[in-house]
Amino acid sequence: MSLDTTALNRRMTHFDAHEDFWLFGYGSLIWKADFAYLERCPAHIVGWTRRFWQASHDHRGTPEAPGRVATLVESPGEHCHGMAYRITPETLAPLDHREKNGYRRVVTELHLDDGTTHEGLVYIASEDNAAFAGPAPEPEIARLIDTARGPSGANREYLLKLAAALRDMGHEDAHVFALESLLR
């Protein structure tokens, strides 16, 4: 049912020779940084939009009742706001495990809120992965999120914490906030 991308991601060696580099988080990585990092800073990437189009069979749902979690879809000219973390290559092993359900490492340009730009890494679950659920009406996505629960907790918690974190950062996300409204 799900595609474990751990081995594929470990073949991506782009940052192996770096002492440190930036990682961009746009979902639970914004509010749940349970990994080692050297520094963190609000940031955004260009050309992507956050969508709850990825099924979660391993964290916020089960194989029998998958939840929905965020991924990015290409959207020219759009900005996706999140959190950037300066990490070392050793941090990738636990992140690869965390993001194993269809997410692949992708090199991207990060724009930190301090005005600097860096080459960085983001995990994206593209539509060619086995857990990609794709677009659906927001009420349907909200219903799935409301009822799903997995080893990492209620899917509802994931969405509500993400919405709160974006609001605390001062950023709007129409899709996330519409789903939040439907849950409340």
Annotated catalytic residue, options 99, 119, 127, 172: 99
Q: How many Å apart are CA 163 and CA 169, to the nearest integer?
A: 10
Exposure of 27 by Cβ count < 10 A (0-12 exposed, 13-18 middle, 19+ buried)? buried
Tokens linked to 138? 């927001």
3-state helix, strand, coil in the chain (%, to 5): 30, 35, 35
Q: How many Å apart are CA 111 and CA 97, to the nearest integer?
A: 26
Tokens linked to 80? 């996706």
* Residue 99 annotated among the catalytic residues of the structure: yes
Tokens linked to 3? 């595609």
Active site residues per annotation? 99
